[in-house]
Amino acid sequence: MKNFQLLARGVDVTPLLLELNRQPHLWDRNKARLYETSPHRETHDIWIRYNDETEFKKNGDYSRFNDAHESVWYPAFYALPSLRRLIFPLMSSVEGERLGGVLIYNLPRGKQIYPHIDTGWHVEYFEKFNICLQSEKTKFCYADEEMVAKPGDVHRFRNDIEHWVVNEGNEDHLMLTVCIHVHDYEKRYVCHSQLQQ
């Protein structure tokens, strides 16, 4: 597969599923991705980490909300302690240098994420990883390939080209998305070569 890379299988996601089930009030507290024409309008979100909203809420101007920033933890992170056992081992295993946005989304059965291309600084700077929490017959699609993840699967994926998701199963599709800036191996190789001279 050229747009997906399977990194792990069988990661234990049960503790996080239990925490989510016990706290339904965490869903959709931030609706920035759920506006009427959004490709994500049929999903539900829990924002775990992103740009600090404090100043944007004060002045009511979100026009620069997606500009370059240092991400901060949102309250849901502290309500879901099992996230730590998923996020930080992933960051370590891919040699991540900086942690960006973290999001949990729920795509209900019979719903879809419509075709779109993600753009902006965050997309260009961070690589995207999905940890499947719950799924049955949900397809993550590109024009020339598609993938069906199983609970506990970890994938690196591209969101800078057109993609969409369709839930054809009988249960909600739950996914944890983690954005990580990964060490630039090309630069490391150049530096290593210079040291050898």
- Taking only the tens place, the pLDDT of each residue in 63-91 is 899 999 999 999 999 999 999 999 999 99
CATH topology of domain 4-196: Jelly Rolls (2.60.120)
Residues in the chain, overall count: 197
Please write the tens of the pLDDT for every residue from 95-131.
999 999 999 999 999 999 999 999 999 999 999 999 9
Taking the C-alpha atoms of residue 49 and residue 114, their distance in angstroms, rounded to an integer, is: 23
Annotated domain spans of the chain: 4-196
Strands 154-157 and 4-8: antiparallel
Closest CA to 15 of 73, 65, 71, 80: 80
Full-model pTM = 0.91
